[in-house]
């Protein structure tokens, strides 16, 4: 888990992201996952070159990752000041999204469909070679 910078006062909280300070890359893209009212599982892919920082601004979810050493981890994200860095060649799945879950994803590259590995079997073969 990565601790994010939060400034708190009587007006609430301010979540701060700065290149080179608390994110290790220059931001090229941001997308938001929300309103998964049927609690359907998401993700189920890896990226060859993309680095991402995921965090919830509302609700909670579980992120399952499998890294290039085939180490599987379960990360519990909730709307606090923690996020998860997902580096290249890391399989990811999103499970158990609460009804109010909002996941923010910061990316170091723009969308590129060629960068995706969509099948776990293909991911396992790709990291073997």
Active site residues: 45
Q: Which residues pair with 56 in a beta bridge?
A: 103
């Amino acid at each position: 888990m990565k601790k994010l910078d939060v400034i708190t006062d009587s007006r609430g909280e301010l979540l701060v992201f700065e290149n080179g300070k608390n994110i290790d890359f220059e931001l090229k893209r941001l997308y938001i996952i929300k309103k998964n009212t049927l609690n359907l599982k998401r993700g189920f892919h890896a990226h060859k070159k993309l680095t991402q920082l995921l965090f919830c601004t509302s609700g909670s979810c579980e992120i399952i990752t499998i890294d290039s050493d085939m180490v599987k981890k379960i990360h519990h994200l909730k709307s606090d000041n923690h996020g998860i860095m997902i580096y290249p060649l890391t399989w990811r799945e999103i499970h158990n999204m609460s009804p109010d879950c909002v996941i923010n994803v910061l990316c170091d590259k723009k969308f590129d469909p060629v960068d995706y590995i969509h099948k776990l079997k293909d991911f396992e073969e790709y990291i073997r070679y």
